[in-house]
Structure 1
Amino acid sequence: MFGDYSLGDLGAIFAMQGFAGLILFSVYVLMALGLAIIFGQMGVINMAHGEFMILGAYMTYLCSTFFQAHLPSLFPVYFFVAMALAFVAAGALGMLVEWGLIRHLYKRPLDTLLATWGLSLILQQAYRSIFGAREVGVELPSWMMGSVQATDTIEIQINGLFVMAITVLITLVVAALLFASRYGKQVRAVMQNRVMAGAVGIDTEKVDRLTFGLGCGIAGVAGSAFTMIGSTGPTSGQLYIVDTFLIVVFGGAASLLGTIASAFSISQTQSTLEFFLSGSTAKVLTLLGVVGILMLRPQGLFTLKVRR
């Protein structure tokens, strides 16, 4: 596999594929952050998480179309507006779903899995009815196009750097929210002992609703990032839901650091292997590697230490 390349060529290839994997890493980490928050605190297996991501992608598409038609002078900054709207739309839908469906199914993991799977099918059909069955693409502002020439053989995509910066910012905000705010203390209290948290006056239902909305909102932002690596269709979210669950389990449920490390390792491994092998073979080898590690460390890369 490597015999036809010199050491210099391999170094350039690894660097190029590493930077190419940054956007994939950004989508993965944003998707997995939201899923880890939901699964870690509430124990809900949200099979519709990919559809919340695609809602964010469609909001980005609508913003792109609207700004092109009605506000062309502001088109260079539309992506920031699109990300905010994607977060609000996906988060609001998530809170509505938690109120209308999820809250009735707590402590019934199989029921939540089946219910959210049915919800994903409903959302896919809704997207198909509203936006059509054909995939749609998003036109990016001119300043996000092109690349930066790092060396003679290495180019860095500008949109990759932008999405990476947004991912770092959102991760820092989520970390501050969970570990340095009153809401974060309530979330961690509910996660560790729901009954005791309710006994000391924490509104666990409100915390659950806000947390589910936050996780879905972050998935909506991931949808905005997704528009940079592929076209958006009604079923596009299902392409990422398995990888996202794999990242959460591999990193350790409810571990922010584990989610980031897992998303980075999986995305970079997959991106590099896809250069030398087919896409399906790269996925299979990545999956086998993760399964092998989980057999040795079933709790994942990182775990929270909780007094029982």
Structure 2
Amino acid sequence: MASQQARQHVVTIVVNPCSGRGRAARLLPQVTRALQDALPGSEIRVRRTRHYSDARESAVAAVAASQPPEPGQRPDVLVMMGGDGMASLGLNACAGSHVQLGVIPAGTGDDFARGVQIPRDPLKAAAAIASGHTRRIDLLLASGEIAGGVDQRYVGSVVSSGYDARVNERVNRSRLNLGRASYASAVLLEIARLKPLNYRLTIDGEYHEVPAILVGVGNAGFVGGGIHLCPKADPADGLLDITLIGPVSRWTLIRFFPLLFRGDFVHHPAITLLRGREVLLDGDGLVPMADGESLGEVPLRLTCEPKILEILVGADHAD
């Protein structure tokens, strides 16, 4: 009797054609061809999405349809092509599953890709996916009243909730997104509304009530198109990094801005860096954002979920 034919390795590309002001649509043929050439024995499936809910359904369906790999076979791969919103959908779909996540950065921020050391060039990112070299990383799990009517969501990069979140929210509301230039403009516009917020934080059981301009709770560390808000964050160390910026003047915050992209701001006396496995986030007037999108309402429970995602990063950064 003939032996059963081995199941074909499947790579599903879910793409937002509008990401990066149409950059994803322009690059899709090159990315698809690169993966086909590098993985001739694999089935490459492309799912063009029309809107956010369509992208989420496509990602979830691809993972649900995947079968566990046979001995000696590569696991199936879900490739999310677009910005941080698309990467977030992918990591939520793949977390805890046997499906590996690949990311093709083609958005305006791409902070998750920065934080987990995925190549920023889309074709180099495709080569990293084809290589099969992976890294197991942690994710931040946010629980509570989460946007979209769910009670929990995984976060790859940072949960922001103060001045930084208001900047992100302003960029999202803008009718014209110019990437880093849009964030720089929003930073200056939001300074006019700058005031400390009253935060109530419980970090690994220790309660803190503090006034702060912002508190960022990070897994991979970047927000706002390259702002290194949690500069010591390691997405594989089993810990969350907390950056607290206390009350400062508008002029001080303006001087901070160029330093945020390098992480040099941490030496200022208004900065406090903490670490923990669990953060209960609450306060007055907070606007929680995560991976470029609205997260929900406080209070929120933020926990580190160790090594829950296998992500394709290429040989240079693999485990």
TM-score, normalised relative to structure 2: 0.25
Instruction: Name which structure has the greater RCO, CA cutoff 8 Å, separation 6+.
Output: 1
Q: Indicate the structure with greater strand content.
A: 2
TM-score, normalised relative to structure 1: 0.26
